[in-house]
Structure 1
Amino acid sequence: MDIEDVSNIKNIQLGDEQDVFINPEGPLNLMHGYVNARNGYMYNKRFYSSEIETDYSMRKNKEASSSPEGWVFERTPVKDKVYKDLCKKTPAGKYLIRYHAQLIKMFPSVDGSLSIEAGRPNALTNFLRAEHVKKDAKYILAALLLLSEGVDIEIDVDKMGEKKSLVIKSKKCKGRVFVNVDMHSAWIDPVTQKKK
């Protein structure tokens, strides 16, 4: 997709009466995503932020000679964490700690690319791919998007004994349930919460 395509999409009107359009200041405006991706903003923030303590090691390669290539550099982004010495007393410091912790959780990067793949069996992506969740995944993601935009969504975790269920209900029509799925992924036992 090039810049012209992205620019044209924001002018498309939707709905039966052609009265719905994409808010140019909202998160669905593809121009923001295009500029961010093109300039690598999220990649740079995730991998080069001074607030993130990067996990890396450099060791001598025993099999190589004493040349500069005789060293092995290993970077493990999935083990990154927020620096502990950030100021926790100010609101800005608390915000930075939470922000960067979320950034690491959102993009754990198992393979070194900017990816939401976590490599953990209990990750959100694995939950959304689980066979019993697949048909409702789009509703769960839509609810999370609306929540991020400040829309009040009726979303809860119901606990019945040892099992937990994610429930999304209608605010207007009492008793109407859009989503009701057990909260476990394909590789996690729903009762013990341990890897199968």
Structure 2
Amino acid sequence: MKKLGLLFMGLLLSLSSFSQVTGKLFPDMEAETVEDKKVKLPQDVKGKYTLLGLAYSKKSEDELNSWFQPVFEKFIQKNKGLMSSFAYDVNVYFVPMFTGVNAAATGTAKRKAIKNVDPQLLPYILFYRGELKPYKEALDFEKKDIPYFFVLDADGKIIHATSGKFTTAKMDDVEAVLE
């Protein structure tokens, strides 16, 4: 019983820290596609709901990748047969963040993505190069080894936040917010 109480408290503490970011405007971020096209968040996605996944370490990038296929199937894939009437109209971007000395690796990461990532997914990957501190503070990044996900409303305000490796429960929560 004591362990259950501690687990519940830990869950409440992790949720409360994330609840501090909901309701806030997503901080300005300039990122690039693999073709070096600039995308300004949230400015360029306003008018439509947006799901953003951010990662700033190799380990967190691996967990970010666990979301690629399920998110592609749920929100991006156009030909779903009978399920096409249930399609979502949502922007989706996965954003590996290159900061500090790792910023120099952005070009290499883009070339690797072009070579190794399904071409259908490439338009949904943005590369950020720059300072981490403003995002760490504004978005409450606690652990560098996990990815963070944010659902923005049509005005760029954060309406849902989650983190970590993909789970069906997390996807259900994201879907509930988007419906």
Q: Normalising by the residue count of structure 2, what TM-score does the alignment of the two structures yield?
A: 0.27
Between structure 1 and structure 2, the one with the greater Rg is: 1
Comparing both structures, which one devotes a greater share of its residues to helix? 2
TM-score, normalised via structure 1 length = 0.25
Higher relative contact order, structure no. (Cα contacts within 8 Å, ≥ 6 residues apart): 2
